[in-house]
Amino acid sequence: MSQAIPDIKPDECVPVHMDTCLTLDVKRYILTELGYPNVEVELCDEQMENAIRDTGRVPNLVLSGHVHDYQRIEQTIAPGGPTPFIVCGNGGYHNLHQVHSSPGDKAADTGALLKYAAVEWGFMTLSIDEKQISGTTVEIDRAGHPPKNGDSFSYPAKPIRLANPKSVPTL
C-alpha cells in the first residue's frame, strides 16, 4: 500500500515508506530508491505504479543498487521528458554483473531505453538543486589504471504531476 505524498514546505523532507521501497520528497521533487531489484523489482514496480496513481506525482529520479554494475535507463512516464532509473551497484563487490543490453537498446514491453552501462567498479556523485538533478560517475577498471570519467546526466528537478494519474504506464 502506498502513502500519499503531501504538499510540503520547500525546506521540509518527508520520507514515505512503501514496504520495500522508500520515496523521499525533497524540496518538492521526488527521489525514489528501490530495494533488492532481482527479487523485488516486480513488487517495487507495482508499488511505484500505485504511488503514482494515488498521488499523481512522478519521481524525478529512481535509484537502485544491489545489481553489481552501473546502468542509466530512461522511461517515459509523464509528458515532457523521461524518468531516469539508475542502478548504481558497482561500488566494489568483486563479482561485477554483466549488462545484457547495449546503450541504445529499448525494451519491447515498457519502452525503457538503456542510455549508459558500465561493468567497472566506480561511484556516482549526485548534485541536486531547485532547478536540476545532475550526476557524474567515475569508473575504475580491474587492471588498476587511473580512474576515468563515466556517465554524466542532468534532469529537471521541477515537480512532475500527471494530469490523469490513472494513465501511468506499466513500469
Return phi, psi of residue 38, to 5°: -65, -35
- Given a contact cutoff of 8 angstroms between Cβ atoms, the answer to whether 16 and 5 are in contact is yes
Over residues 27-38, the pLDDT tens digits come to 444 445 554 444
Give the number of other CB atoms < 10 A from CB of residue 131: 10
- Tell me whether residue 95 is exposed, middle or buried, using C-beta atoms within 10 angstroms of its C-beta: 0 to 12, 13 to 18, 19 or more: exposed
Please tell me the predicted confidence (pLDDT) of residue 144: 83
Q: Which domains are present in the chain?
A: 13-167 (3.60.21)
pTM for the complete prediction?
A: 0.77
Q: Of the given ranges (42-51, 63-72, 108-117, 161-170), which has the lowest mean pLDDT?
A: 42-51
Beta bridge partners of 57: 161
Average pLDDT over residues 50-57: 87
pLDDT at 26 > cutoff 80: no
